[in-house]
Amino acid sequence: MGIEIERKFLVAGDGWRGATEGPPVPIRQGYLAAPGAAGATVRIRRAGAEAFLTVKGPGGLVRAEFEYPIPPQDAEAMLALCTTPPLAKARWSVTHQGHLWTIDVFESPTSLAGLVLAEVEMEAADADPPLPPWLGREVTDDPAYANARLISHGRPG
Amino acid sequence: MGIEIERKFLVAGDGWRGATEGPPVPIRQGYLAAPGAAGATVRIRRAGAEAFLTVKGPGGLVRAEFEYPIPPQDAEAMLALCTTPPLAKARWSVTHQGHLWTIDVFESPTSLAGLVLAEVEMEAADADPPLPPWLGREVTDDPAYANARLISHGRPG
């Protein structure tokens, strides 16, 4: 049993780019089940040389999460079973006052190109990590910014 | 990448009961994605002391299949995420002229109680295993007899 506790934000400007650690990890992911805010999400992800099959419960700050490493060739075959083409993004890392932030720069589908989202994973729902100055609006509880929704509905607003 | 090649039949009578090997394996399974004949199916299964997360491609005789063993406590938590209560069945084994048949006796939901289905897994689509005399109609290509459909639509006809 896993629990993911995560806050998610829009990103305002490029202030984070000077603080990145290492090259970005190229990510491609698709969904076998993408019910949005209610029900479980089943995600196939390629992340660099690795691959994962991940089941997540309904979205929000605290979320059930079960992640299993799988052979990359399995992931490629299952991405082909997904109903929509995979989403592609570059994942950068920035440490801000002891907390690791991941910054996803979306590349495709073209409806998402240019979207940038930042996430911080926390040990507890009340961990209250210091917020970097380059964050925009918080979208933790906005189902429109769930990757499973972005892939099928495009960029909000 | 896995491929499942399987024929499925209704069972006519109790002729198979004298030839069973060992006690039945109790199975409980639920679906995180159950699109029926088209698209991928995502199944959570408890089988005795084991548990599996399984992704299957569209149904029929030859089917893409990816199966991963998972901790039983993960399976229980994910069964709770499924949209319908788990299906329960007892799985018996019978070897007929060198081929292993599995015979599933459905127990719940109550709409499926008493349904009996037999399956044989094959090395090749044209393997042509000898058919035991206790088989009824073949339902390999009948999507109504896919477990993912049975759980949500009940027993056909």
Any A CB within 8 A of B3 CB: no
Kindly determine whether residue A1 and residue B77, on different chains, have CB atoms separated by under 8 Å: yes
Mean pLDDT for all residues in chain B = 93
A interface test, pick of B31, B41, B66 with most A CB neighbours within 10 Å: B66
Those residues of chain A that have pLDDT short of 50 are: none
Percent of chain B with pLDDT over 70: 97
Kindly determine whether residue B81 and residue A57, on different chains, have CB atoms separated by under 8 Å: yes
Q: Tell me the pLDDT band of B36, cut-offs 50, 70 and 90.
A: low
Listed by number, the residues of chain A in 68-97 with a beta carbon closer than 8 Å to a beta carbon of chain B are: 68, 70, 73-74, 77-78, 81-83
pTM, rounded to two decimals? 0.92
Kindly determine whether residue A78 and residue B70, on different chains, have CB atoms separated by under 8 Å: no
The total number of structural domains that make up chain B: 1
Contact residues for B98 (Cβ-Cβ < 8 A; gap 6+): none
- What ipTM does this complex have? 0.90
Which of A30-39, A63-72, B30-39, B78-87 has the highest average model confidence (pLDDT)? A63-72
Give B38 or A137, the one with higher predicted confidence.
A137
Partners of B39 on chain A (C-beta within 8 Å) are 81, 83
Contact residues for B123 (Cβ-Cβ < 8 A; gap 6+): B5
Does the pLDDT value for residue B120 go beyond 70? yes
Q: Where are the alpha helices (DSSP H) in chain B?
A: 72-79, 147-153
pLDDT at B59: 79
Question: Which 3 state secondary structure label does DSSP give A131?
Answer: coil
Partners of A63 on chain B (C-beta within 8 Å) are none
Does the pLDDT value for residue B155 go beyond 80? yes
Partners of B40 on chain A (C-beta within 8 Å) are 32, 78, 81-82
Percent of chain B with pLDDT over 90: 83
Listed by number, the residues of chain B in 97-136 with a beta carbon closer than 8 Å to a beta carbon of chain A are: none
A119 touches A7 (CB < 8 A): yes
Running DSSP on this structure, what letter comes out for residue B141? T
Does the pLDDT value for residue B150 go beyond 70? yes
Query: Looking at CA atoms only, how far is residue A90 from chain B in angstroms?
Result: 26
pLDDT at B71: 97
Residues spanned by the domain of A121: 3-153
pLDDT at A38: 62
Residue with tokens 């690791």: A100
pLDDT at B38: 62
CATH of the domain at B114: 2.40.320.10
pLDDT at A36: 52
